[in-house]
Amino acid sequence: MGVERVGVSFEPELLDKFDGLIKAKGYTNRSEAIRDLVRKAIIESEVEAVKGNVIGTITIIYDHDIGDVTNKLLHLQHHHHAEISSTTHIHVDKHRCLEVLVVRGNAKAVKSLSDNIKSIKGVKHGELVITKTSI
């Protein structure tokens, strides 16, 4: 696989900040850092457009005492069993639970699952983190 060279112009202050960032993140050169930024932007654009297959996690915190949240979450997860590879459940305290769902499948279906979970009364916070399966 070949590479093509391109030129990028930076203002001095921006380049100084970028150099500090890539050093802190452990990059050995600017090119690899820029390639990672471009890959990330492409993945985010495709995921935002809800295209293709994705893999990732849905992390939620919920209060199991609010409404029927536990049963609703369980029912929804069974309904989307094709997109859920595994789940981890942790008791945070007397009332709150953390769940992490490992998800895989069509981006639209995974995003819909995440949105449905986050909209359930009792779910205090939810975060979908996905990437393309074909990077």
CATH 3.40.1160.10 is held by the domain 53-132: no
Please, where in the chain does CATH 1.10.1220.10 lie? 12-48
Q: Return residue ranges of the chain for CATH 3.30.70.1150.
A: 53-132
Q: Are 55 and 111 in contact (CB under 8 A)?
A: no
Residue 135 has pLDDT above 80, yes or no: no
Q: What is the residue-wise DSSP string for 93-121?
A: SSSEEEEEEEEEEEHHHHHHHHHHHHTST
Better pLDDT: 14 or 47: 14
Give the β-pairing of 53-63 and 123-132.
Answer: antiparallel
pTM above 0.75, yes or no: no
Q: What's the pLDDT tens digit per position in 62-97?
A: 999 998 999 999 999 999 999 999 999 999 999 999
Q: Quote the CA–CA distance of 63 and 101 in Å, as a whole number.
A: 17
